[in-house]
Amino acid sequence: MNAEDRALANRKLVKKLLWVIAGAILFTIALVPLYNVMCQVTGFNGKTGNSAEQAAKSMKVDNTRWVTVEFTSNVMPGLAWTFYPKQTSIRVHPGQIELATYVAKNIANQEVIGQAIPSVSPGQASLYFKKIECFCFQRQTLKPGESKEMPLTFFVSPDLPKQIETITLSYAFYSAVK
Amino acid sequence: MTTATDVHAHDDHHEHHPAGIMRWLTTTNHKDIGTMYLTFSLIMFLVGGMMILGVRAELFKPGLQLMRPEFFNQLIGVHALVMIFAALMPAATGFANWLLPLQLGAPDMALPRLNNWGFWLLPPAAILLTLPFTLALFGIGDGAVATGWTLYAPLSVQGGLGVDFAIFSIHLLGISSVLGSINIIVTIFNMRAPGMTLMKMPLFAWGWLITAFLLIATIPVLAGAVTMLLTDRHFGTHFFDAAGGGDPILFQHLFWFFGHPEVYILLLPVWGFIPHILSAFTRKPVYGYKAQVYSFWAIGILSVVVWAHHFLTVGMPVPALLYFMYSTMSISLPLAVLFFCWIANMWKGSMSFETPMLFATGWIILFGIGGLTGLVLADVAADAQYHHSYFVVAHFHYTLFAGGIMGVMAGVYFWLPKMTGRMYNEKLGKLHFWLTAIAFNMTFIPQFFLGLAGMPRRIPDYALQFADFNMISSISAFVLGLSQLLFVYNIVSCVRGHGEKAADKPWEGAEGLEWTLSSPPPYHSFTEQPVIK
Amino acid sequence: MAFKQYQQSGAALMLALWSLAAHAEMRWNFPKPVTPMAEDTLHVHNKFMIIIMVIFLVVLGIMIYSIFNHRKSKGHTPSQFTGPTTRSQVIWTLVPFAILLYIDFILMGIPAYHSVVMMEDTKNGADMVLKVTGMQWRWQYEYMDGDAKGIKYVSNLKTPQDEIDGKAEKNPDYLLEVDNPLVLPVGKKVRVLLTANDVIHTWWVPQFGTARDAIPGFLRETWIKIEEPGTYKGQCKELCGKGHGFMPVVVNAVSEADYKKWVEAKKTELEAASAGADKQWSKEDLIAHGKEVYEKNCAVCHQADGKGIPGTFPALAGSKIINAPIFDKDGKLMTDSHLDRVFNGKNVMPAWKGILNDVDIASVVTFERNSFGNSMGDMVQPAQVKALR
């Protein structure tokens, strides 16, 4: 092979490798949504889906089983609110639509917007914990000194694996990001 | 082909490379660039070593004696980044530059100018990484990155300007590695001597080929992860912040998707060295060449599907835990093939134990300990105990110091006569090996026990029950550090032309094209390509 | 000075090496397990260690045999084989891999499988639920159900700074002692929920055989069932900043009866503390109490002299936030005021409302407003803090 042929061959191969790198970069970008899909499929990280209003209509109540649902909360640094569940736990039949309430209060003299981030444990249960209406679907605004009851309607899917008897729902309330 | 000496004389006559610093700044010669990589690597090895000696001095006894915890955290993280990105990786790239054209029968690397750029990105990267230490002395910022080398969010989102410097440094290091990898792949594919098929290629080239592919596949992931970190820090994105719908665990997935292949990126070139050295000093051909090549591939592929075993305590669904456990255990199979081949290579040979062989033999044993403890670490339930304890610290130093750096040292002693034309001092070389091997074990065996007893890693101060082992470990670490001066002495004296003149083939049993050239080889390696039958 | 310390340490080393074998403090394996999980982990670990040591010694034996016999100096002539050639050689080559496959996926794989299933068995039959919140650099414990429901407190490192700095003799529990240990009954299955407020932490007690990350914004869980009364100690093991080495976990496991007594006592204690919020405090008392609170909680970042660490932790001396009013003319808490920052936190500053009680917060704010050269002269009454909740 003479030098010119070789230079040409080298350039061709470099081009191919640059495509590989471009592919790797695209793959990296794709990993972020892929990760979220993985979380939703496996229940990893206890992330719950959005409104399950449709699924609720065709739901059959399983009266033979009880599941305990516990509620807890964290107010993250920087949010001048108090925030706690009104009830610490309730017992439900899978499929039964239930209402739970959290109480939030703005203790500062300015309007504050917050965003609640839900998390369910055990992570596996998050696939079966369905919210119909939740204050975490939107940002919440509280006027200075305002106190507000925040409702949550949900049900536990009857498909919940038998060995899960207790589900804990936690909300981390953050100061809403811009 | 003309004889090597002729080529040399011919070269000296016609080559007009600039003298002094300009020669090194502008050089496109693979040996010059290889030398710069190796020199850079050696310097950074000493810098990273000094950092960890500071850490070991602090850990010599309970209490805070020498430094604040913030500074301690900076030292451990920068130590790891320096050792991985600025010592071990450039060492491997340096050898690739030096040896690949020689072993493949090529005049130079395929893309000489790219090669030069690849190297000259490294010094600025090293400066970026360590500059915040200096800036802090002038009251700017709070020092270097203090999050450990893993840069986990949200700690790294919270961190000071050291994190930004580390991110830019990683970008530069990443670009440098990718450029190096492109060059190596092109050289291996296009520059081999006529007749040298891929399956006749030296194992070092095979090791590097897979390393290079791993690098171009995973470095973009690391670069992407740290870029997201940068935008989270300064541009209001929320990739890793739950408040904005992000997730801190995503960072760990991205990081280790790069991080686990990185382990093999560091090790594969060394696995490439070892058969050359073993075969030379057993005077016996490489055992199981094909088996080794296939194992390289198997490990390369497995390495990108096991990443989550680095953070099993994060809480994952049972099926995921089981998958990562069993896939990690599977790596032991191709690795066992390699061990089998290395030992079979020794079996019924005619061995002699010059320094490179001592290092290679010690390397097999110590890397074996690293591999076997890795097998245990795969067990998810027990990993809850091992994880982030000193057990893990000991484990990965057996793989990366013994398995990585000691392997590189074996390579240095093996090819130093070829590179410099001078023999190193054999007595000092042997002394260097024994001091290194003994001090290394005395440093890290106590750390296995510390981990089992419950000492977490990355703590600047510890409970009294850990005191004795830490003291032994610290003292041994200083012996280990100081004995590296013998290594430096041996290299420097060869480079400066002291010592016996080396023959073209200084090792009786050495095989390969590089030994057909003069020691040191001519400026342009093979102006006429040899033909392999 | 450092040199002298090393001289002393050198002498200590001689002593340590001399008594190496007999030394009681030197532990060679996991500490004594006290939960089923830790028991299982120890068995699995011991088994695996024996397996890998046998592999190591067998392989090393073969190598050593070869190193001693197949040497040039012994006149051994090299063979030229590069792989198995006969059928029986091929079979002998495959045997080690058959053994390794067996070890990986049966001998180790099966017990490891059972351990994983056991470790993740949090969903069933829990007798009580505990919530652990990690924050820089302390743990908060909240009892979620049962008699102890509502008990919530923070557990801080108790070791004095002088011991850390080597100005005082280190006590035997050095760095593994807290002001408020977690108290749990023995023989009960406790479901442990974990989360964090700032960065990732890992809650780890070696004798429980369990470690789980506490992740900001997300909930994780694990379980423990302590089978023996005693005090068990562990540490955070995910790097979480400068205080990472200084946030121990201390658990007192007590009998059911003692646990009930402790619950009563703790409830009384917490009530008494909150009752303090209703009375009117004098400025002197607030400042005196505030100084204690400051040294325990705030000095680690803002420093004992209130000067902070430039670039990382802001100075309180002359701070704009401190030297400004707290309440507006309607008596409402002003955003970004001194109390707002302490009470609700921001970024790295924790939200102390979840950590300190009303008296502590009122005192420390009053102290800060009247120290380090700040002379606001005013004070915050605990009742004003209580009204915010």
Instruction: Report the SS3 class of residue C240.
Output: coil
Residue of C244, C250, C303 to mutate when probing chain B, most B C-beta within 10 A: C244
According to DSSP, the β-strands at C220-225 and C230-236 are unpaired
**CATH code of the domain made up of C128-266:** 2.60.40.420
Of C12, C31, C40, the CB nearest to B454: C31
CA-wise closest residue to B521 among B415, B421, B391, B410: B421
Distance from CA of B395 to the nearest CA of C (A): 13
Domain encompassing residue B86: 1-202+512-533
Tell the residue number behind the tokens 């008699």, with chain if given: C147
Q: Which residue of B has its CA nearest to A22?
A: B220
Residues 190-229 of C with CB under 8 A from B: 198-200, 202, 204, 206, 209-213, 215-218, 220-222
Residues 62-121 of A with CB under 8 A from B: 76, 115, 117
Of A31, A45, A117, the CB nearest to B254: A31
Enumerate neighbours of A (3 or more CB pairs within 8 A): B, C
User: Mean per-residue pLDDT for A81-103?
Assistant: 89
The enclosing H or E element of C205 equals strand C201-205
Per-residue burial over C54-65, b if 16 or more Cβ lie within 10 Å, else e, is ebbeebbeebee
pLDDT of res. A57? 64
pLDDT of res. B44? 95
pLDDT of res. B395? 96
> In chain C, where does DSSP find H-type helix?
2-18, 36-69, 87-102, 109-119, 161-164, 256-275, 283-293, 299-302, 338-344, 358-369, 382-388
Output the domain CATH number for residue B67: 1.20.210.10
Cis peptide before C352 (omega within 30 of 0): no
Residue of C132, C193, C218, C220 to mutate when probing chain A, most A C-beta within 10 A: C218
Q: How many domains does one find in chain B? A: 1
Cα–chain-centroid distance for residue B364? 16
Distance from CA of C37 to the nearest CA of A (A): 18
Phi, psi of A73 (to 5 degrees): -150, 155
| Rounded Cα distance, B291 and B54, in Å | 43
Task: Determine whether the interchain pair C195/A164 forms a contact, defined as Cβ–Cβ distance below 8 Å.
Answer: no
Pseudo-torsion of CA B306, B310, B313, B315, nearest 10°? -40
Task: Determine whether the interchain pair A121/C353 forms a contact, defined as Cβ–Cβ distance below 8 Å.
Answer: no
| Rounded Cα distance, C364 and C290, in Å | 4
Distance from CA of C188 to the nearest CA of A (A): 16
Q: Which residue of C has its CA nearest to B240?
A: C216
Q: Which residue of B has its CA nearest to C108?
A: B379
Q: How many residues does chain B have?
A: 533
Q: Which residue of C has its CA nearest to B161?
A: C311
Residues B305/B325, Cβ–Cβ less than 8 Å: no
Q: What does the domain layout of chain C look like in residue ranges?
A: 36-67+83-119, 128-266, 283-388
Q: Which residue of A has its CA nearest to C122?
A: A122
Phi, psi of B285 (to 5 degrees): -65, 160
Q: Tell me the CA distances in angstroms from B117 to B31, B126, B375, one per residue in order.
A: 15, 15, 40
Tell the residue number behind the tokens 């791993």, with chain if given: B214
| Rounded Cα distance, B169 and B130, in Å | 9
CA-wise closest residue to B158 among A77, C141, C355: A77
Question: What stretches in chain B show pLDDT beneath 50?
Answer: 1-14
Instruction: Assess C125–A contact: CB distance below 8 Å, yes or no.
Output: yes
Q: Tell me the CA distances in angstroms from B6 to B56, B179, B503, one per residue in order.
A: 53, 33, 16
Question: What CATH class is the domain A46-175?
Answer: mainly beta
Instruction: Assess A9–B contact: CB distance below 8 Å, yes or no.
Output: yes
Residues 155-184 of C with CB under 8 A from B: 163-166, 170, 172-176
Say which CATH topology domain C283-388 has: Cytochrome Bc1 Complex; Chain D, domain 2 (1.10.760)
Task: Determine whether the interchain pair A14/B189 forms a contact, defined as Cβ–Cβ distance below 8 Å.
Answer: no
Residues A112/A175, Cβ–Cβ less than 8 Å: yes
> For each of chain C's 389 residues, which pLDDT tens digit applies?
444 555 555 555 555 555 554 444 568 889 999 999 999 999 999 999 999 999 999 999 999 999 999 999 888 888 888 888 888 888 888 898 899 999 999 999 999 999 998 888 876 788 899 999 999 889 999 999 888 988 999 999 999 888 999 889 999 999 999 999 999 999 999 999 999 999 999 999 999 998 999 999 899 999 999 999 999 999 999 999 999 999 999 999 999 999 999 999 999 988 887 777 788 888 888 888 889 889 888 888 888 888 888 777 888 888 888 888 888 887 788 888 898 889 888 878 888 888 888 888 989 999 999 888 888 888 888 888 888 87
Phi, psi of B353 (to 5 degrees): -115, 70
Instruction: Assess A178–B contact: CB distance below 8 Å, yes or no.
Output: yes
Distance from CA of B331 to the nearest CA of C (A): 10
Residues A96/A157, Cβ–Cβ less than 8 Å: no
The enclosing H or E element of B58 equals helix B30-58
Enumerate neighbours of C (3 or more CB pairs within 8 A): A, B
Residue C191 pairs with which residues in a beta bridge? C129, C223
Task: Determine whether the interchain pair C244/B69 forms a contact, defined as Cβ–Cβ distance below 8 Å.
Answer: yes
Q: How many residues does chain A have?
A: 178
According to DSSP, the β-strands at C248-254 and C230-236 are antiparallel
Residues in chain B within 8 Å Cβ distance of A176: 243
Residues 257-276 of C with CB under 8 A from B: none
Instruction: Report the SS3 class of residue B59.
Output: coil
The enclosing H or E element of C224 equals strand C220-225
| Rounded Cα distance, C237 and C244, in Å | 8
Residues in chain C within 8 Å Cβ distance of A168: 129, 193, 219, 221
| Rounded Cα distance, A155 and A65, in Å | 13
- Token reading at B38: 């190796």
Pseudo-torsion of CA C339, C344, C350, C355, nearest 10°? 90
Residues in chain A within 8 Å Cβ distance of C346: 77-78
Task: Determine whether the interchain pair C96/B61 forms a contact, defined as Cβ–Cβ distance below 8 Å.
Answer: no
According to DSSP, the β-strands at C189-196 and C128-135 are parallel
Say which range, A52-61, A97-106, B143-152, B339-348, has the weakest mean pLDDT: A52-61
| Rounded Cα distance, B424 and B401, in Å | 22
DSSP state letter for C377 = -
Instruction: Assess B139–A contact: CB distance below 8 Å, yes or no.
Output: no
CA-wise closest residue to C174 among C182, C183, C165, C185: C165
| Rounded Cα distance, B326 and B305, in Å | 11
Of C245, C246, C311, the CB nearest to B160: C311
- Token reading at B10: 């011919």
Residue of A17, A29, A35, A50 to mutate when probing chain B, most B C-beta within 10 A: A17
pLDDT of res. B3? 38
Task: Determine whether the interchain pair A42/B249 forms a contact, defined as Cβ–Cβ distance below 8 Å.
Answer: no
DSSP state letter for C107 = I
A-B C-beta contacts closer than 8 Å? 86
Of C133, C219, C333, the CB nearest to A46: C219
Residue of B186, B228, B231, B526 to mutate when probing chain A, most A C-beta within 10 A: B186
Enumerate neighbours of B (3 or more CB pairs within 8 A): A, C
Residues B402/B457, Cβ–Cβ less than 8 Å: no
Q: Which residue of B has its CA nearest to A27?
A: B221
CA-wise closest residue to B388 among B314, B321, B338, B463: B314
| Residue B425 within a domain | no
